[in-house]
Chains A and B, each alone.
Chain A
Amino acid sequence: MNRKIATLLLLASATGLAACSKKAPETLPPTPVETPRPTPTAPQVQPTGPQAGSQAHFAAAVGSSTTIYFETDRYNVDSQDAAALQAQAQYFARFPQVTFTIEGHADERGTREYNLALGERRASAAKAYLVSLGVDANRISVLSYGKERPLALASNEAAWAQNRRAASVIVN
C-alpha cells in the first residue's frame, strides 16, 4: 500500500516535471568519452577454500552437524542433536550476517499431510533450540517438505532414519 502511494506520488511529480522540462536543457551533457576496457585479470583464488558464509563453508566448519536426525514420529532435540545445533550456533555467531532455512523432513512411512505437519514441527524444534542458544530468530526460516524429498531412497529402517531430519541450509 505504501509502495502504491509512493508510486502515485512519483507519477504525479513526474507529470509535473515532465511538463516543465519540455524546453531543451541549457547545457548539453558532455559527449561520452571512449574509455578503454580494462583487460581482464585472472580471478583471485581464495586460498582458504569456500567463501565464508556459503553452504560449503558452513558444511566444512560444522561437518555432519548441518543436519540433525529424529526418531520415528518424534521431534525432540536429543543430546546428539543438541551437540550438532551447538556447533551450528557457534558458526552462526561467528558469521552474524548469515541467514538460513531449516528444512524439516519425514520418512515415507507416514501419511502425506501429517508428514508435512511433522516436518514443520521438527524444523521448528531445531529453530527453537538455536534461538535458545542465542541465534536471532529473524535469521531463521522454517520449511517443511514432509516426505516429499527423501535423501535415502530405499524402503528400510536405515533409509528412513536418514530421512527423518532437519537440515540447516544457508540462504546468503
Chain B
Amino acid sequence: MTNKLILLLSAALVVAPAAAQDLGAPTGEDQQVESVAIEGEGDGPLRGTVTDESAWSDIGIAIPAFATDRERATPANEAGTGALGREVARVITANLRNNGLFKPVGPDSLPQPAFAQIRTPSYGTWSGQGAEMLVQGYVTARDDGRLVVGCYLYDVQLRQQLVREGWVVAPGDWRRAAHKCSDLIFSRLTGESPFFDSRIAYIAETGPKDRRVKRLAVMDSDGANHRFLTLGSATALTPRYSPDYSKILYLSYVDGNPRIYVYDIGTGKQTLVTENRNPTIAPRWSPDGKSILYSMAVAGNTDIYRVPATGGASVKLTDNPGIDVGGSYSPDGSKIVFESDRSGSQQCYVMDADGKNQKRISFFGGRCATPEWSPRGDQIAFTRIAGDFNVAVMNTGGGGMRVLTKGWQDEAPTWAPNGRIIQFFRTERNSGRSGIWQVDLTGQNERRLPTPVDASDPAWGPIRP
C-alpha cells in the first residue's frame, strides 16, 4: 500500500518538463548615464553659430586623444585613463566618419593636447593643421570608480567654444560617453536630433540556406557591445526593442510554433504576448511602450490586434479576409500604418489607433510592405516590391515616393532615432546570405554594418536615456 502511494505521489510530483528554452544568460539592466556640469572657457552663454550650415559635410574636424588629469587604471582600460581617452576619440572619429556626414581626422594622426589645454585650446596649432572644428575632451577616474568624460566642441576659425557637456559613467559604459559626445557634436553642427547613443536588435544568421540558424542578438549603433540573446536551437525572428530598452518583443519557434514573446532584458525571462493557441507574428510597440501590436492568424486569416504591454485582453483592430499584418504607430500614437493584401496584393494602409478609418495610401505601382513610421512623423519607410525589393520612403499620405536602394532584395526598413538614417537587410541572390545595411534619407551614404555573422531584421531603438 505504501509503495503504491509513493508511486502515485511521485507521479503527481513530477513537474511538467520545463518549457523549452532557447535563452542565453540575461544581460542585466541598462545603466543610466548622468550628465554633469563641466568647466569651460568663459562660463557665460554660448555665442556664435556655425559659419556655414550648408557646407557642414565638408568641414574638417580634428579629434585629438582625450586627455586625463592623472593616469589611473580602470576596469575600462588597464593601461589607464589616458589610453581610454585615445579610445574615446577613436570611437567619436569612427561615428562621424562612418555616417558620411563629416571628414574627421582622428587621434592617431594628431598631436595630443595636455589636460590644461582642453578648456583653452591652442587655436594656432589647430588652424595650422587645417582644422575648422576641434573636438577636445578628457577622461578622469573618480574615487567611486566611475568615470567623468568631458566633451568640448570649438570653432577654430572663430576661436570660440560652440558647445560642451560632461557625463558620469560606469567604466563598462565608457563607449556611451563617446556616443553622447558624438551626438553632441552632430546635433550642434547639423541642427538634427541625436542618434549615436542607441542600440539595435537584430537576427544573427548562420548555416546553409535550407537550415539557417537564426538567433536574437543586440549591439550598439556602431556594432560594438555585441551580444547573442538566444542560443539558436529555435528560430528567432523580427525583434523590436521597447522604447525604454527594458524588453524585446520577438518571434520564436521555441515551442514548435511561431509565437511572439516579451523578453525582459533585466531578468532574462520571457512570456507569451498573448495566451492563445493561434500563431502570433509581427510584434510592434506603441511609442509610449504601453501597448503592443501583434498579428494573429485564426483559421488561416491574419489580422492585427492590440494588447496592453502588461497583459490583459486583446482588441482586434482589423477584420478583413485579406492578410493584415505588422503595423507601425505614428510618433504621437494616434495612427497606425500597416500592410494588407485585401486589394489583391500587399499595399500600405493607415488607420486610427483604434482601428477606425482604414484607408489605403500606396497607389504608385508595385507593392508596399513592412511600412515603418519615421520618428519625425512626416515620412513612412517601406519595402517596395516592383521586380526587385527596395527600401523606399513616402509621405504619410502616400505621396512623394522615393526609392533609396538598388539591391536585389532589400527589405524591412527601420529608422534611426532621429529619422535621418534607415537600416534594412539585404539578401544575396542564390546564396541567401544576408547583411544589415544603412542608407540616409537622401539615398546617399549606403554602407554595410559590420556584424560578426550574417544579419537580418534590424530594429533600431530610440536614444538611450
Contacts and interface: CB of A to CB of B under 8 A. Distances in A.
Interface of A: 6-7, 10-11, 14, 17, 21, 25, 29, 73, 75, 108-109, 111-114, 116-118, 120-121, 123-125, 127-128, 142-144, 146, 148-151, 153-155
Contacts of A149: 210
A117 B209 contact: no
Contact of A150 (B209, B339, B345): B209
B9 A10 contact: yes
Contacts of B301: 121, 124
B5 A14 contact: yes
A113 B297 contact: no
B386 interface: no
A117 B427 contact: no
B2 A25 contact: yes
A14 B456 CA distance: 54
Contacts of B300: 75, 120-121, 123-125, 127-128, 142
B408 to A, nearest CB: 8
B323 interface: yes
A108 B427 contact: yes
B47 interface: no
A11 B346 CA distance: 57
A128 B409 CA distance: 33
29 contacts: A11-B9, A21-B5, A108-B409, A108-B427, A111-B369, A111-B412, A112-B411, A112-B456, A113-B295, A114-B339, A120-B297, A121-B297, A121-B323, A124-B297, A124-B299, A124-B300, A125-B300, A128-B299, A143-B256, A143-B258, A144-B258, A144-B279, A144-B297, A148-B212, A149-B210, A150-B432, A151-B210, A155-B430, A155-B432
Contact of A113 (B1, B326, B345): B326
A6 B323 contact: no
A155 B431 CA distance: 8
Given A25-B2, A111-B346, A143-B257, 20 more contacts: A7-B12, A10-B8, A11-B9, A14-B8, A73-B345, A108-B409, A108-B432, A112-B456, A113-B325, A114-B323, A116-B251, A116-B279, A117-B302, A121-B297, A121-B300, A121-B323, A124-B297, A128-B299, A150-B209, A153-B209
Nearest to A75: B300
A140 B429 CA distance: 35
Given A121-B300, A124-B297, A155-B430, A112 B457 contact: yes
B55 interface: no
B374 interface: no
A166 B456 CA distance: 25
B389 interface: yes
Nearest to B9: A14
A111 B383 CA distance: 8
Contact of B281 (A108, A117, A155): A117
A67 to B, nearest CB: 15
A14 B1 CA distance: 12
A144 to B, nearest CB: 6
Instruction: For the complex of A and B, list the 4 residue pairs with the smallest distance between their C-beta atoms, beginning with the closest.
Output: A124-B300, A117-B302, A120-B297, A10-B12
A17 B5 contact: yes
A150 B297 contact: no
Interface string B10-35: 00110000000000000000000000
B209 A120 contact: no
A75 B297 CA distance: 14
A144 B209 CA distance: 17
Interface in B277-295: 279, 281-282, 295
Interface string B409-421: 1011000000000
A125 B456 CA distance: 30
B299 A111 contact: no
B242 interface: no
B237 interface: yes
Contacts of A121: 297, 300-302, 323
A144 B281 CA distance: 11
B405 interface: no
